[in-house]
A and B are shown apart, each in its own frame.
Chain A
């Protein structure tokens, strides 16, 4: 089944403790992206990647890191999480860059 897989689905952590949210797609897509979803703010793009080793900042990149060492994987790294990063995170991928992203099921992160 073609899909974008994120792990974990739920995560509660403490301020300052580094964490990684994994994302993998099995559709051989070139484009991948991370979004965060907050009430009233919609989906805001954190980072995106057009191919291996090619990444760029979205609208809210502060406090996040990404890497694209393999085509299928695009992990999101929070080096020192803070409570304002409590949110619902989505990973997404796309074949051509146009035609829309396919989204994962989301990771609900709580930073206390």
Chain B
């Protein structure tokens, strides 16, 4: 049972374009939604995160949009750069359960120069 579903599986964007990755979750008990960025040969690194009481969070070129009623959230990368080429994972955490962080399947982003 996949509790966090992520799409698309892969994405190719031109330099300067907007990259959009979508995630949907099932369990309304989730209360923390981070995004991770992973480069080849490295472990995932926390990129940006949001709580369900906020509809949008922006950090530099990265923005999370959150729709609580639809149980969906998305990552937008503005002015995408070749250095953004990586695998991106959305995740969901239920703080009351502590320790259990569930990931989506991942999206491989390629930004063409």
Q: Please tell me if the beta carbons of B43 and A48 are within 8 angstroms of each other in the complex.
A: no
**Of A11-19, A39-47, A77-85, which stretch is located at the interface?**
A39-47
**Of B13-21, B66-74, B96-104, which stretch is located at the interface?**
B96-104
Known: A35-B103, A42-B104, A100-B49. 4 other contacts (CB 8 A): A48-B99, A50-B98, A98-B32, A103-B44
How far, in whole Å, are A94 and B34 apart by their CA atoms in the complex?
13
Report the interface size for chain A: residues with CB under 8 A from the other chain.
Answer: 29
- Nearest A residue to B1 via CB reads A59
Write out the residue numbers on chain B whose beta carbons fall within 8 Å of the beta carbon of A35: 103
0/1 interface trace, chain B 40-55, chain A, CB 8 Å (1 if under): 0111111001000000
Is A62 at the interface (CB under 8 A from chain B)? no
- Nearest A residue to B104 via CB reads A42
Q: Please tell me if the beta carbons of B99 and A33 are within 8 angstroms of each other in the complex.
A: yes
13 A-B pairs, CB-CB below 8 angstroms? A4-B43, A40-B9, A43-B44, A43-B89, A43-B103, A45-B102, A45-B103, A98-B93, A98-B95, A100-B36, A103-B44, A105-B41, A105-B42
How far, in whole Å, are A99 and B44 apart by their CA atoms in the complex?
14
Tally of contacts, chain A with chain B, CB under 8 A:
65
Q: Please tell me if the beta carbons of A101 and B105 are within 8 angstroms of each other in the complex.
A: no
Q: Which A positions have Cβ atoms within 8 angstroms of B?
A: 4, 31, 33, 35, 40-45, 48-50, 56, 58-59, 90, 92, 94, 97-106
Report the interface size for chain B: residues with CB under 8 A from the other chain.
Answer: 25
B50 nearest CB across to chain A (Å): 12
For chain B, residues 45 to 85, give those with C-beta under 8 angstroms from any C-beta of chain A. Answer: 45-46, 49
- Nearest A residue to B98 via CB reads A97
Given A40-B9, A42-B104, A43-B89, also A97-B43 (CB < 8 A)? no
Write out the residue numbers on chain A whose beta carbons fall within 8 Å of the beta carbon of B105: 40-42
Q: Please tell me if the beta carbons of B101 and A101 are within 8 angstroms of each other in the complex.
A: yes
How far, in whole Å, are A41 and B6 apart by their CA atoms in the complex?
10
How far, in whole Å, are A92 and B89 apart by their CA atoms in the complex?
15
